[in-house]
């Protein structure tokens, strides 16, 4: 399982109700259902992912996150999770508002554009970074709103969002102490647990 | 068992083969929503697959407006057409008859053998005609429940329906919450829109204004309001297709005549689409009963899932215990994806288990009958969990 998905599991209570935005093939919800008796539903737009999620017994609703979460009532979930999808949204800040309206708590993970490799790539080559992790060129990338750890925390500050927990995953795909000491420089993926 | 030995025709390994309809007679009165009761009634039905020992693999198929019991297979080797949902029911198909026991019935009020307006009214000895009691969707659920008891099934693995059939499936989930594990609702809605009711009213007016209608007593007059019924079907048919679908299927192709200037042709010009609609209308008017059409469209119009729950669908769905699968089709404007999404949103708010897909298709409302690859994929994927619940390993 992707390391950010492993990392966030302790933040999700047993028997809780989880909405997973951009649930992919449903791996996280399947694991949470088996190990924590979580009842959840995923939102997904990719047809193949939807079929895979359905086939593994995960409930999934075909939904474009760019239309917002107007279909869902206030506080209808204990936890709203969005992993590695923030940067693909047209209005990420509005979706975060919506997540905090629909869920009591939220978990957001995103690729940290402040990582030294991105800085080096841009600074040294003068071109938009392309990596194994983010293999797209600037014109065809689904990732249209990159941000850094600092940017995200500034947004939380601006919106009075409480950061209950945060962590970064380093280049070795682990939660290295060094990366967590310099998250904006050494964190590849940032992981935030937030609430209103 | 209605199922004949497997077909010798090996052309379609995924067909249930040759099937034969059966008939059951119920002697006890069936209390109806309108306050009246049917003193006795017949149900014509077909079954596919085998009921397992603990009777846990039953699936009920609910048919739509013009549907009937013949959902899959053929009645004879030379049958030109298969059942109306042959695309989805059969060995290896989404509703897999190697695993499930499938019951498909002709609803009461229908005109394919179950008690309906063409049956004899025991009080008069004449056909019921317009005197047949008005039906609500829940009356069909009640009669389907009698069938369930007949087979000794205490819980369906699923109740499945498209369009008006989906409305019955949802009614099942509210009326008999313990009697089904899954409710699969395809191209349906919690109630019709004003536009939908308007189209139904045009269809009804076409029938009732046919001079051969005789206030619905056409059988006593030895006539049939064929013209009106054909018109009703033609209007209905347009609403089941999408603009793109019609464009692809017919375009502006001509069946007869010549539109070019100075062609000198004196053959009347007929577009393909005209010919098609006329054929559909005529075929339908020769095989369907006008009073049944009126009755079915009324039941559709009156259906309102949440009416008795303070018009709150969330409150309504709180009574359900089963899991739901909802599907819609992008170009379906008769039962638009937005109507399906309302179902899904209410189910989520009611804290129910629900999955939803919006299938890209250019076939309009008719798409639910067509084996569109992605539709089949998600249907298969969802049915896999039903199979797993029955202990089938995959």
Per domain, the residue ranges of chain A are 3-113+144-195
ipTM for this prediction: 0.94
For the whole model, what pTM was predicted? 0.94
Give the gap in angstroms from C-alpha B100 to the nearest C-alpha of chain A.
18
Q: Is B163 a catalytic residue?
A: yes
Ligand-binding annotation for B304, yes or no, is no
Are B357 and A73 a contacting pair at CB < 8 A? no
Choose from A25, A37, A41 for mutation: most chain B CBs within 10 A: A41
Measure the CA–CA gap between A15 and A79, rounded to whole angstroms.
11
Look at residue B5 and tell me if it is in a domain: no
Q: Is B275 a catalytic residue?
A: no
User: What rounded mean pLDDT belongs to chain A?
Assistant: 95
Look at residue B3 and tell me if it is in a domain: no
Measure the CA–CA gap between B166 and A117, rounded to whole angstroms.
54
pLDDT tens sequence for chain B (394 residues)? 344 444 444 457 899 999 999 999 999 999 999 999 999 999 999 999 999 999 999 999 999 999 999 999 999 999 999 999 999 999 999 999 999 999 999 999 999 999 999 999 999 999 999 999 999 999 999 999 999 999 999 999 999 999 999 999 999 999 999 999 999 999 999 999 999 999 999 999 999 999 999 999 999 999 999 999 999 999 999 999 999 999 999 998 898 888 878 777 777 888 999 999 999 999 999 999 999 999 999 999 999 999 999 999 999 999 999 999 999 999 999 999 999 999 999 999 999 999 999 999 999 999 999 999 999 999 999 999 999 999 875 5
DSSP assigned state of A180: H
Q: Are residues B164 and B217 in the same domain?
A: no
**pLDDT at position B261:** 80
Q: Are residues B187 and B41 in the same domain?
A: yes
Give the gap in angstroms from C-alpha B40 to the nearest C-alpha of chain A.
42
Look at residue B6 and tell me if it is in a domain: no
Look at residue B2 and tell me if it is in a domain: no
Catalytic residue among B163, B242, B328, B340, which? Answer: B163
Q: Are residues B287 and B348 in the same domain?
A: no
* CATH of A3-113+144-195 given 3.40.50.11540, 2.40.50.100, 1.10.287.4070, 3.40.50.150: 3.40.50.150
Angle at which helix A47-55 crosses helix B373-389, to 10 degrees, equals 20
Residue B211 phi, psi (nearest 5) = -55, -20
Q: Are residues B70 and B180 in the same domain?
A: yes
Ligand-binding annotation for B366, yes or no, is yes
- Strands B22-26 and B41-48, how do they pair? antiparallel
Q: Are residues B43 and B138 in the same domain?
A: yes
Measure the CA–CA gap between A16 and A35, rounded to whole angstroms.
12
Measured between beta carbons, which residues in chain B are less than 8 angstroms from residue A52?
A: 381
Q: Are residues B244 and B229 in the same domain?
A: yes
Look at residue B119 and tell me if it is in a domain: yes
Q: By residue range, what is the domain housing residue B318?
A: 21-191+305-392
Extract the tokens encoding A186. Answer: 């050494």
Measured between beta carbons, which residues in chain B are less than 8 angstroms from residue A39?
A: 351, 353
**Residues B320/B178, Cβ–Cβ less than 8 Å:** no
Q: Residue B210 — left, alpha, or beta (φ > 0 → left; ψ -120 to 50 → alpha)?
A: beta
Are B381 and A62 a contacting pair at CB < 8 A? no
Measured between beta carbons, which residues in chain B are less than 8 angstroms from residue A62?
A: 356-358
Q: Work out the average pLDDT over A98-107.
A: 97
Whole-number Cα distances in Å, B330 to B67, B369, B378, B382: 23, 14, 15, 20
**pLDDT at position B260:** 79
Does residue B351 sit at the A interface (CB-CB below 8 Å)?
yes
Q: Are residues B70 and B165 in the same domain?
A: yes
Q: Are residues B32 and B64 in the same domain?
A: yes
Q: Are residues B101 and B182 in the same domain?
A: yes
Specify the residue for token string 């047809």.
A47
Q: Are residues B43 and B131 in the same domain?
A: yes
Q: Are residues B60 and B100 in the same domain?
A: yes
CATH number at residue B338: 3.40.50.1820
Look at residue B4 and tell me if it is in a domain: no
Q: Report the residue from B345, B349, B381 with minimal CB separation from A54.
A: B381
CATH number at residue B237: 1.10.1740.110
Within a 10 A sphere around the Cβ of B93, how many other Cβ atoms?
22
Measure the CA–CA gap between A57 and B323, rounded to whole angstroms.
11
Measure the CA–CA gap between B58 and B249, rounded to whole angstroms.
37
Are A61 and B344 a contacting pair at CB < 8 A? yes
Measured between beta carbons, which residues in chain B are less than 8 angstroms from residue A55?
A: 380-381, 384
- Total domains present in chain B: 2
Q: Work out the average pLDDT over A30-55.
A: 97
Query: A-B interface: how many C-beta pairs under 8 angstroms?
Result: 54
Q: Are residues B46 and B103 in the same domain?
A: yes
């Amino acid at each position: 399982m992707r390391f950010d998905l492993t990392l966030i599991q302790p933040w999700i209570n047993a028997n809780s109700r989880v909405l997973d935005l951009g649930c992919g093939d449903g791996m996280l919800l399947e694991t949470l259902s088996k190990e924590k008796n979580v009842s959840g539903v995923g939102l997904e737009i990719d047809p193949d992912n939807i079929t895979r999620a359905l086939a593994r017994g995960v409930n999934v609703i075909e939904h474009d996150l760019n239309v917002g979460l107007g279909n869902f009532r206030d506080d209808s979930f204990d936890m709203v999770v969005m992993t590695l999808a923030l940067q693909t949204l047209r209005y990420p800040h509005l979706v975060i508002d919506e997540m905090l309206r629909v869920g009591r708590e939220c978990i957001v993970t995103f690729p940290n554009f402040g990582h030294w490799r991105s800085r080096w790539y841009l600074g040294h080559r003068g071109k938009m970074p392309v990596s194994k992790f983010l293999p797209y060129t600037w014109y065809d990338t689904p990732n249209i709103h990159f941000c850094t750890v600092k940017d995200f925390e500034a947004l939380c500050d601006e919106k009075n969002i409480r950061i209950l927990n945060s962590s970064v995953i380093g280049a070795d795909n682990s939660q290295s102490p060094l990366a967590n000491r310099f998250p904006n420089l050494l964190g590849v993926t940032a992981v935030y647990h937030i609430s209103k | 068992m209605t199922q004949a030995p497997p077909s010798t025709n090996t052309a379609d390994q995924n067909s249930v083969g040759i099937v034969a309809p059966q008939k059951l007679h119920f002697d006890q009165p069936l209390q109806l929503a309108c306050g009246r009761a049917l003193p006795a009634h017949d149900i014509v039905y077909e079954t596919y697959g085998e009921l397992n020992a603990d009777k846990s693999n039953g699936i009920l198929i609910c048919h739509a407006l013009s549907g009937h019991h013949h959902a899959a297979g053929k009645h004879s080797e030379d049958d030109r057409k298969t059942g109306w949902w042959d695309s989805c029911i059969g060995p290896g198909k989404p509703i897999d008859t190697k695993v499930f026991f499938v019951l498909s019935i002709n609803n009461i009020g229908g005109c394919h053998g179950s008690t309906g307006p063409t049956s004899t009214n025991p009080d008069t000895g004449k056909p019921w005609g317009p005197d047949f009691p008005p039906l609500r969707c829940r009356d069909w659920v009640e009669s389907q429940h009698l069938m369930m008891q007949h087979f000794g099934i205490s819980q369906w693995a699923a109740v499945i329906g498209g369009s008006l059939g989906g409305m019955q499936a949802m009614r099942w989930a509210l009326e008999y919450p313990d009697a089904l594990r899954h409710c699969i609702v395809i191209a349906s809605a919690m109630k019709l829109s004003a536009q939908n009711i308007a189209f139904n009213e045009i269809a009804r007016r076409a029938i009732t204004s046919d001079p051969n209608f005789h206030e619905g007593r056409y059988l006593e007059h030895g006539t049939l309001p064929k013209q009106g019924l054909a018109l009703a079907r033609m209007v209905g048919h347009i609403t089941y297709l999408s603009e793109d679908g019609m464009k692809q299927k017919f375009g502006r192709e001509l069946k007869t005549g010549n539109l070019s200037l100075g062609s000198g042709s004196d053959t009347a010009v007929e577009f393909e689409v005209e010919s098609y609609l006329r054929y559909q209308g005529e075929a339908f008017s020769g095989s369907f009963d006008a009073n049944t059409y009126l009755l079915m469209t009324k039941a559709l119009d009156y259906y309102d899932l949440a009416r008795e729950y303070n018009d709150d669908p969330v409150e309504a769905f709180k009574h359900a215990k089963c899991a739901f699968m909802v599907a819609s089709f992008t170009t379906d404007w008769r039962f638009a994806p937005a109507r399906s999404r309302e179902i899904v949103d209410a189910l989520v708010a009611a804290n129910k288990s629900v999955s939803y897909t919006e299938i890209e298709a250019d076939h309009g409302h008719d798409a639910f009958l067509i084996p569109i690859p992605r539709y089949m994929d998600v249907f298969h994927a969802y049915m896999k969990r039903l199979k797993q619940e029955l202990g089938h390993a995959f």
